[in-house]
Amino acid sequence: MIQLEFHHTGILVNSIENSLPHYSRIFGAESISEVYSVSSQKVKVCFVKNGERSFLELVEPLSEDSVVTKMLKKRISYYHVGYKVKNVQNAIKVLEEENYKALSIFNSEAFQGKPCVFLFTPEGHLVELIEE
């Protein structure tokens, strides 16, 4: 068993800059993080605090060949849930035993270079694990 701590819901947007005024009005300007470029994923991200320990992650594609660009063109917006874990490698091992399919591990600039990974659940949902 592993401990998954909810962190965020990933939301695709065409433009973080254009989306921020709305989220600032709803949640307050102080709830908005800086914007990070996650080069390995070809995206920019920004976190909007919407609870004590929960966030919306606004995700903007940086190129036409980004995987999220294809999703955005299909009008998919809410597309993943992020969880903090103590150890990404151990969590992958446990979840793969439950028929999750892991993609490549990457180090995210949005999380101070810590290891992250996306996995598909047996039902086909996308989850992200972020090492604490």
Per-residue model confidence as pLDDT tens digits over 50-70 = 999 999 999 999 999 988 999
CATH class of 5-131: alpha beta
CB 39 within 8 A of CB 108: no
- At 17, which helix (H) or strand (E)? helix 16-27
Distance between CA atoms of residues 107 and 99, nearest Å: 24
The number of helices, as runs of H, and strands, as runs of E, in the chain is 3, 9
Residue appearing with tokens 């892991």? 102
Per-residue model confidence as pLDDT tens digits over 75-116 = 999 999 999 999 999 999 999 999 999 999 999 999 999 999
What's the angle, vertex CA 68, arms to CA 33 and CA 105, rounded to 5? 75
Q: Where are the domains of the chain?
A: 5-131
